[in-house]
Amino acid sequence: MTNSDINRLKDKAFQAFGIFCTFIGLVVLGIFLFDIILEGVQRIDWDFLTTLPSRRASRAGILTAWVGTVWILVLTTLIAFPLGVSAGVYLEEYSRKNKLNNFLEINIANLAGVPSIIYGLLGLEIFVRQMRLGNSLLAGALTLSLLILPIIIVTTREAIKAVPRSIRDGSYALGASQWQTIWNQVLPASFGGILTGIILALSRAVGEAAPLIVIGALAYVPFTPASPLDEFTVLPIQIFNWTSRPQGAFQTNAAAAIIILLIITFLLNGIAVYLRNRQQKKIKW
């Protein structure tokens, strides 16, 4: 066998290895989803979704958990959406190159890399203790808002950056002010991209358990929250609680709750991908 034959063989071998690596993660994911569905799907029924938690595995439901998750999603959106988009607009449209703005950008990149549990410690001290919000939905939503703020800012900036200069120039030529241009031209044109970013950020928030455990969200809440100042639990914490119990029946409950959580996560991601694709097809500058 000549040298070049050997090299060609190595090349083919690596190609096979590459295909193997590319699919191993997906295969593992497939096995996992299959296992979860097999274990959990027969546990899901109307009662499971509409009953309160219980010490008896067969009677426990996830009503408080999913209601808490929905509350958290709505409150987090209300807080993080205006804040993140405003910051993104400022950095992209107003900020001039100076030291403060340079620092702002580095800082946001840094915040995106801070572990979520550290945000939990921040929320515990500032919202739970200093602002005396207690272990409430509002404290949880504020904490998660800070966590997803960097994601929203970065995606907002990218969406705004994609709006061509000519649209702004056209607006200025008609006598519009800078804010009128942003409000009437730039934001509507980039809205699809901004929305995609928000939904992706929310899909991140919906799966977070660690920061909410740190701020004191409970595993067992006997009633559904009725106001933002009520105590709460969310699906990931309920799953964590059931997973850490030794009895098999609770593991089945955990699997069933995971199916619900994954449906929510995939739904949010699916909407985001759909919006992005539609946006890319619709607009040709």
Partner 1 sequence: MRVSEKIIEGLLWLSAVITILITIGIIWVLLSEAIGFFRVVSLVDFLTEKEWTPLFADKKFGIAPLVAGTLLTTAIAIAVALPIGLTIAIYLNEYAHAGMRQVVKPMLEVLATIPTVVYGFFALTVVTPFLQTLIPRLAGFNALSAGMVMGIMIIPMISSLSEDAISAVPRSLREAAYGMGSTRLQTAFGVMVPAASSGIVVSVILAISRAVGETMIVAVAAGQQPRLTLNPLVPIETITTYIVQVSLGDVPQGSLEYKTIFAAGITLFIFTFALNNLSFWIKKKYQEKYD
Which residue stretch of 42-50, 82-90, 189-197, 225-233 sits at the interface with partner 1 (rule: CB under 8 A)?
82-90
Q: 14 vs 223, which CB is nearer to partner 1?
A: 14
**Taking CB under 8 A as the rule, which mask of x and - marks residues 239-258 in contact with partner 1?**
xx--xx------x--xx--x
User: What part of residues 40-79 is at the interface with partner 1 (CB under 8 A)?
Assistant: none
- Quote the tokens at residue 92: 């992209």
Least Cβ distance, residue 275 to partner 1 (angstroms): 14
Q: What are phi and psi of 231, to 5 degrees?
A: -70, 160
Cα separation, 14 vs 94, in Å, equals 50
Cα separation, 104 vs 119, in Å, equals 19
- 136 bridge partner residues: 231
Which residue stretch of 24-32, 70-78, 166-174, 191-199 sits at the interface with partner 1 (rule: CB under 8 A)?
24-32
Tell which one of 41, 45, 59, 94 touches partner 1 (CB under 8 A).
94
User: What part of residues 111-140 is at the interface with partner 1 (CB under 8 A)?
Assistant: 111, 113-122, 124-126, 129
User: What part of residues 186-225 is at the interface with partner 1 (CB under 8 A)?
Assistant: 203-204, 206-210, 213-214, 216, 219
Cα separation, 118 vs 115, in Å, equals 6
Cα separation, 70 vs 64, in Å, equals 10
Q: What are phi and psi of 197, to 5 degrees?
A: -60, -40
Q: Is 164 in the site for partner 1 (CB under 8 A)?
A: no
Cα separation, 141 vs 139, in Å, equals 6
